[in-house]
């Protein structure tokens, strides 16, 4: 029987999709909490990507004639803030900021961590010791204080926040990936690859990297929540994403004490959004770690 | 034990060197001209002229070569001279001395409140596993893990202002002068901060207790007919405390980060506030000094936790 190439490709695609759906269903049944975390993550991503379509009003539109409207009145589902801006729209666009900072900083943190940690583990010896000492020195600082210190030296800008958080993550990521690479290195297929003459670079990219990916995924899911908390804290202190950008941290800060009597609800909603999203990522990360862990240990 | 202590104390100095080098490089290697930032101010609107830039650079000592700057800074610190604040010209060390006890008090209060709540909570959760109290406590714990410190603090502050007509006091009352006012001021930021700590410690206590309670010696204790309280507290809890202590030690660094936030929200005049104000107004001398102080505190606490760990677990030997 002669199957055209296009038909064969369609068949493969259908099979792949069915297997993915099946794997997701298995995951949801085994780890329902993790599935909830996954749903929250998808919702947050959706809000971030489709913010312009979802938000009922312009998040930056000021209107001093309609300040501090309580939630549920005059068509503002979550009310307006002290400058008349719609809180719901600002929260939806806040997802964009939080997720951008979180994803970008985690990706950069893992990439640089993989570079330093992987290289240190693979080559070992003095290079390993030096890199480890430097990482330990950086890790001595609490994440927030290190982030503060870095932002102190940089101009206040969303990309600098990403850089600051990535730097904070790098040593921890490097350490975890270093132990992962150390255990992967002991496998026989690495020896075999070296025996047939693979270059170091080729071994690192083709053999070590895919196996370390599971560890990287777990690190990523845990750090996403932490990144959002750090960004929120920095913005709350006025050193992170600068206003009027609707970062959830900014929104909690810009409304608190002065308007506590008139509008105590203002810091409530951005905080709920942030807590819920961090909770989702945390719970998803825990579930992923449980699922991928036995495979981490398998040789 | 004594040998281990002396060795750790001796390692203190090179570690401090490494940390100070890191802070120093951080302030100078990152992109952006410090002198420019100082002149431009937090909003970027200050007037910047080349002459003014030169003056600021000379004042900050930035025109000297890097290693000279570093040596001057480090030798200054050894004499407890952290330079003068760029905002009001007063010596930074005086401010630190004034504010350090306040932050330490907040940290200790937080640790006490958090641990006092967490250990019984975690134990109850473990002993009555999968019951209603366990589920309720676990939900509260999960929220405490995910909720940002600044949010909890803000909500506590708003709750106090709105529903109890309480305002953060304008002046700080030291503990030995006026304990009542002092505790009234400090208990709320400590409680807010303690929530997150309690969540982490409770979770660890619960899992550690669950593990310990499955051990054979616990079964023997039940079989011997010992009272519930004796088995749980004297046998199980004691052995479950080891990982909990480690976690508390590790969380201390996070706690210090949290004091920065709580001091800002509740207007507590501690080192955290000093650091944040310093960053906002580009007062680099203060910022450097503040970070060094935090690093020293953390190093001391890490050492204390290591020693405490060895004291609790007789199996740990100090080679």
Residues of A in contact with B286 (CB under 8 A): none
CB proximity under 8 Å: B 234-263 to A: 253-254, 256-258, 260-261
Report chain A residues whose CB lies below 8 A from the CB of B195. Answer: none
Burial B22-61 (b: 16+ CB within 10 A, else e): bbbebbeebeeebbbbbbbeeeeeeebeeeebeebbeebe
Q: Is the pLDDT of residue A12 over 60?
A: yes
Looking at residue B32, its pLDDT comes to 57
Six-digit token pair at B210?
Answer: 């669950």
The 3-class secondary structure across B293-304, one letter per residue, is HHHHHHHHHHHH
Q: B284 touching A, CB under 8 A?
A: yes
pLDDT of residue B220: 86
Averaged pLDDT score across all residues of chain B: 81
Minimal CA separation from A93 to chain B, in Å: 19
Please tell me whether residue A193 adopts helix, strand or coil conformation. helix
Computed over every residue of chain A, the mean pLDDT equals: 83
Locate A218 and state its tokens. 């777990």
Q: Is A26's pLDDT higher than 90? A: no
A164 vs B167 pLDDT, higher one = A164
Model ipTM?
0.83
Domain ranges of chain B: 2-89, 93-312
Query: What chain B residue is nearest to A228 in terms of C-alpha separation?
Result: B148
> Residue A297's pLDDT is what?
45
Interchain CB contact of A225 with B (< 8 Å) = yes
Query: Which A residues, 250 through 289, put their C-beta within 8 Å of a C-beta on chain B?
Result: 252-253, 256-257, 260-261, 264, 267-268, 271, 274-276, 278-279, 282-283
Count of all residues that appear for chain A in the document: 299
| Phi, psi at A242, each rounded to 5° | -75, 145
Say yes or no to pLDDT of B188 above 50. Answer: yes
Q: Can you name the residues that pair with B91 across neighbouring β-strands? A: B84
Q: What phi and psi values does residue B74 have, to the nearest 5 degrees?
A: -65, -45
Query: In which element (H, E) is residue B212 found?
Result: helix B179-213
Residue A105 clears pLDDT 90, i.e. is over it: yes
**What does the pLDDT read at residue B38?**
65
Mean pLDDT throughout A36-41? 88
Nearest to B18 by CA among B65, B62, B70: B70
pLDDT given for residue A55 in this prediction? 80
Of A236, A256, A278, the CB nearest to B158: A256
User: What average pLDDT does the segment B188-192 reach?
Assistant: 91
Cβ–Cβ contact A192 with B under 8 A? no
Query: In the predicted model, what is the mean pLDDT of residues A229-249?
Result: 89
Query: Which pLDDT value is given to residue B117?
Result: 92
pLDDT score, position A293? 65
Higher pLDDT, A115 or B12: A115
Lowest mean pLDDT, pick from A141-155, A163-177, B44-58: B44-58
> Is A238's Cβ below 8 Å from some Cβ in B?
yes
Contact B157 A256 (CB under 8 A): yes
Report the C-alpha gap between A111 and A121 in whole angstroms. Answer: 15
A299 band by pLDDT with thresholds 50, 70 and 90? very low
Q: Do A154 and B31 touch (CB under 8 A)?
A: yes
How do residues B159-178 score in pLDDT, each as one tens digit?
888 778 777 776 777 777 77
Q: What residues have CB less than 8 Å from B210, skipping those under 6 apart?
A: B126, B129
Distances (CA, A) of B315 to A4, A8, B129, B220, B309: 70, 64, 29, 22, 10
Give A31 or B146, the one with higher predicted confidence: B146
CB–CB contact A225 B146 (8 Å): yes
Residue among B31, B103, B257, B292 with most chain A CBs within 10 A, to mutate:
B257
Q: Å from B30 to nearest chain A CA?
A: 6
User: How far is the C-alpha of B283 from the C-alpha of A247, rounded, in Å?
Assistant: 26
B36 touches chain A (CB under 8 A): no
Residue B316 or B79, more confident: B79
Nearest Cα to A78, choosing from A96, A64, A94, A91? A91
**Whether residue B60 has pLDDT greater than 80:** no
Please tell me the least confidently modeled range out of A44-53, A198-207, B216-225. A198-207
pLDDT digits (tens, 9 = 90+) for B85-134: 766 778 888 888 888 888 988 999 999 999 999 999 988 888 888 888 88
- Could you tell me where the DSSP H helices lie in chain A? 5-30, 32-49, 51-54, 87-123, 125-139, 143-153, 158-185, 188-195, 200-203, 209-237, 248-253, 268-297
- What local confidence, expressed as pLDDT, does residue A148 receive? 87
Identify the pLDDT of residue A78.
80
**Mean pLDDT value across residues A272-277:** 93
**Peptide bond just before A8 cis, omega within 30 deg:** no
Partner-chain contact B260 A267, CB within 8 Å: no
pLDDT at res. B64: 74
Q: Show which of residues 84-123 on chain A sit within 8 Å of chain B, judged by CB atoms.
A: none
Q: Identify the pLDDT of residue A127.
A: 80
Of chain A, the percentage scoring pLDDT greater than 70 comes to 96
Strand partners, B84: B91
Residues 6+ apart with CB under 8 A from A212: A114, A118, A177, A180, A181, A184
Give the fold, CATH level 3, of B93-312.
MetI-like fold (1.10.3720)
Rounded Cα distance between A219 and A144, Å, is 18
CB A148 within 8 A of CB A87: no
Residue B31 has pLDDT above 60, yes or no: no
Contact B261 A144 (CB under 8 A): yes
For residue A276, what are the contacts with CB-CB under 8 A and spacing of at least 6? Answer: A40, B146
pLDDT higher than 90, residue A274: yes
**Residue B319: predicted pLDDT:** 45
Candidates B148, B159, B192, partner chain A, best to mutate (most A CBs within 10 A): B148
Helices B92-127 and B132-146: crossing angle in degrees, nearest 10, is 150
Lowest mean pLDDT among B19-33, B112-126, B136-150, B299-313: B19-33
């Amino acid at each position: 029987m002669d199957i055209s190439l296009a038909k064969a490709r369609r068949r493969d695609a259908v099979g792949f999709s069915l297997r993915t759906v099946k794997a997701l269903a298995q995951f949801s049944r085994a780890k329902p909490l993790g599935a909830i975390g996954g749903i929250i993550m998808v919702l947050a991503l959706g809000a971030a990507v489709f913010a312009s379509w979802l938000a009922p009003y312009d998040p930056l539109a000021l209107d001093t004639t309609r300040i501090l409207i309580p939630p549920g009145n005059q068509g503002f589902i979550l009310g307006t803030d002290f400058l008349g801006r719609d809180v719901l729209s600002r929260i939806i666009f806040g997802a964009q900021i939080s997720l951008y900072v979180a994803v970008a900083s985690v990706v950069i943190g893992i990439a640089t961590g993989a570079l330093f940690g992987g290289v240190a583990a693979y080559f070992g010896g003095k290079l390993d010791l030096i890199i480890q000492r430097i990482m330990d020195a950086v890790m001595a600082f609490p994440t927030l204080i290190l982030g503060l210190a870095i932002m102190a030296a940089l101009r206040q800008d969303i990309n600098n926040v990403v850089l600051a958080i990535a730097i904070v993550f790098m040593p921890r990521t490097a350490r975890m990936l270093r132990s992962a690479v150390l255990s992967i290195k002991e496998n026989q297929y690495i020896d075999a690859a070296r025996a047939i003459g693979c270059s170091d670079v080729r071994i690192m990219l083709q053999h070590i990297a895919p196996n370390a990916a599971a560890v990287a995924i777990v690190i990523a899911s845990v750090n996403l929540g932490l990144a959002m908390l750090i960004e929120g804290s920095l913005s709350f202190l006025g050193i992170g994403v600068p206003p009027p950008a609707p970062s959830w941290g900014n929104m909690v800060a810009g409304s608190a004490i002065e308007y506590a009597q008139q509008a105590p609800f203002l810091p409530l909603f951005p905080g709920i959004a942030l807590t819920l999203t961090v909770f989702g990522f945390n719970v998803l990360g825990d579930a992923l770690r449980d699922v991928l862990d036995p495979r981490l240990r398998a040789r | 034990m004594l040998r281990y202590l002396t060795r750790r104390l001796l390692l203190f100095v090179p570690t401090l060197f490494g940390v100070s080098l890191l802070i120093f490089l951080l302030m100078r290697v990152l992109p952006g001209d410090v002198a420019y930032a100082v002149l431009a101010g937090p909003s970027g609107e200050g007037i910047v002229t080349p002459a003014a830039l030169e003056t600021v650079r000379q004042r900050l000592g930035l025109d000297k070569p890097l290693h000279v700057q570093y040596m001057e800074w480090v030798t200054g610190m050894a004499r407890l001279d952290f330079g003068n604040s760029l905002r009001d010209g007063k010596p930074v060390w005086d401010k630190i001395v004034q504010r350090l006890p306040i932050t330490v008090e907040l940290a200790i209060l937080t640790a006490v409140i958090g641990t006092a709540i967490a250990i019984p909570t975690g134990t109850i959760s473990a002993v009555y596993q999968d019951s209603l109290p366990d589920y309720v406590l676990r939900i509260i714990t999960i929220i405490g893990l995910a909720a940002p410190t600044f949010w909890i603090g803000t909500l506590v502050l708003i709750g106090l202002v709105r529903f109890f007509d309480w305002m953060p006091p304008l002046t700080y009352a030291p503990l030995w002068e006026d304990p009542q006012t002092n505790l009234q001021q400090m208990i709320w930021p400590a409680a807010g901060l303690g929530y997150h700590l309690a969540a982490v410690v409770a979770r660890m206590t619960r899992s550690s207790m669950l593990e310990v309670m499955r051990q054979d010696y616990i079964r023997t204790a039940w079989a011997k007919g010992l009272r519930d309280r004796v088995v749980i507290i004297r046998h199980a809890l004691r052995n479950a405390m080891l990982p909990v202590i480690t976690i508390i030690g590790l969380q201390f660094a996070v706690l210090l980060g949290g004091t920065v936030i709580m001091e800002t929200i509740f207007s507590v005049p501690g080192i955290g506030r000093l650091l944040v104000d310093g960053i906002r107004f580009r007062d680099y001398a203060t910022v450097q000094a503040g970070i060094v102080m935090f690093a020293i505190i953390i190093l001391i606490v890490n050492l204390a936790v290591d020693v405490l760990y060895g004291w609790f677990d007789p199996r740990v030997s100090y080679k």
